[in-house]
Structure 1
Amino acid sequence: MSSVPPVTRRPATAADLAFLYQVYADSRAPEMALVAAWDEAQKAAFLRSQFEAQHTHYHQHYPDAHFDLILRDGQPIGRLYTCRLPGELRLMDIALLAAARGQGIGTALLADLVRAADQSALPVTLYVEGHNPARRLYERLGFVAAGEAIPYEFMRRLPQVKTAS
């Protein structure tokens, strides 16, 4: 029996923007803690502008993407953005609120994603910053470095196609 709390997903809507911003800001909290010269209002303004730029970019450049909320017991705890591109499944973003991290939720969601990609014989691709702790998780799931777009690293996991014996 799994000890991972069960989660569901649902498409994000315009009504979820405040929560999506909260997830974004929460995921950048360690970074913001290093910016001692900024007061809280400056940090909030910076995070808001970065969130809006990212949100706009994703929706403009990935109009066919799945922009999902991750829910536990019906309550939103994170976001998962994916897009099927020609010849690949792109993991655009996965982020959980700090209180939901370290419980195996992200691992379970990514394992489901790579299983689905394997069934479709598609590689899964993503971009990750080199210092992001999630990089270790991606490597455990079989992702390998496949290029660089500073400050990001492009990673790919080739499909694990099972053959009949």
Structure 2
Amino acid sequence: MDGLQLTSLELKAHSEADLPFLLQLYTSVRRDEFAAANWPESQLNLFLSEQFSAQYRYYCQHYSTDRFDIIYYQNQAVGRLFVDYWLDENQEIRIVDISLMPEYRGIGIASCLLEQLFIEAETLGLTVSIHVERNNPARALYERLGFKLKTQTDEVYLLMEWQAAS
């Protein structure tokens, strides 16, 4: 993992106290998408804050939040890993969201966490799934780790799935 120390990674259940960090993270992920809009900074910040609140409410209403975790690397909050377990007919671990602050991308954190989920899924006999935007650079990582296209939900999002080798 490019020198990444697994012992330097920790997941901690998120709480309301983490909302300012989660907003900062969301903003760091989405800001570039709206750069072409040329909005004043205050308008962009308000828009991103409202979008974050809507997304967070949706996640909390539609998914179990038991495994909505903040990712810590070397005791520093660096991202989020929101996971839900669908043990009904789907039999899958759904990655609701995985996001990292820009300065922590590309150093193996996401790969390490996803590989841990793969071990868990294999042990439980589950698949791992994630929605990804068609043009998201993370899609290449998911494909490299063995995710395959399951369905195309619309023009923007792809549903990808990882299955243990049989």
User: Residue 68 of structure 2 corresponds to which residue in structure 1?
Assistant: 67
Rounded Cα–Cα distance in structure 1 between residues aligned with 2:96 and 2:66: 9
Give the count of matched residue pairs.
Answer: 160
Pairing of 1:74-93 with structure 2 (within 5 A): 74-86=75-87, 87-93=91-97
1:124–1:159 Cα contact (<8 Å) kept: no
Gaps of 5+ in 1: none
Q: CA deviation at 1:152?
A: 0.7
Rounded Cα–Cα distance in structure 1 between residues aligned with 2:67 and 2:126: 17
Please list every run of at least 4 consecutive aligned residues from structure 1 whose deviation after the TM superposition is greater than 4 angstroms. none
User: Residue 32 of structure 2 corresponds to which residue in structure 1?
Assistant: 30
Gaps of 5+ in 2: none
User: Residue 156 of structure 1 corresponds to which residue in structure 2?
Assistant: 161
Which letter maps to 1:28? R
Local SS of the residue matching 1:41: helix
Q: CA deviation at 1:29?
A: 2.4
User: Residue 59 of structure 2 corresponds to which residue in structure 1?
Assistant: 58
Q: CA deviation at 1:33?
A: 2.2
Q: CA deviation at 1:30?
A: 2.0
Pairing of 1:110-129 with structure 2 (within 5 A): 110-129=114-133
Residue deviations 1:81-108 (CA, integer Å, cap 9, x gap): 0010021000110001011111111111
Rounded Cα–Cα distance in structure 2 between residues aligned with 1:43 and 1:100: 24
With structure 2 as the length reference, what TM-score do the two structures score? 0.91
2:82–2:96 Cα contact (<8 Å) kept: yes
Rounded Cα–Cα distance in structure 1 between residues aligned with 2:127 and 2:37: 37
With structure 1 as the length reference, what TM-score do the two structures score? 0.91
User: Residue 99 of structure 2 corresponds to which residue in structure 1?
Assistant: 95
Q: Is structure 2 residue 99 aligned with structure 1 residue 109?
A: no
Q: CA deviation at 1:139?
A: 0.5
1:71–1:77 Cα contact (<8 Å) kept: yes
Instruction: Tell me the C-alpha RMSD between the 2 structures.
Output: 1.5
2:80–2:100 Cα contact (<8 Å) kept: yes
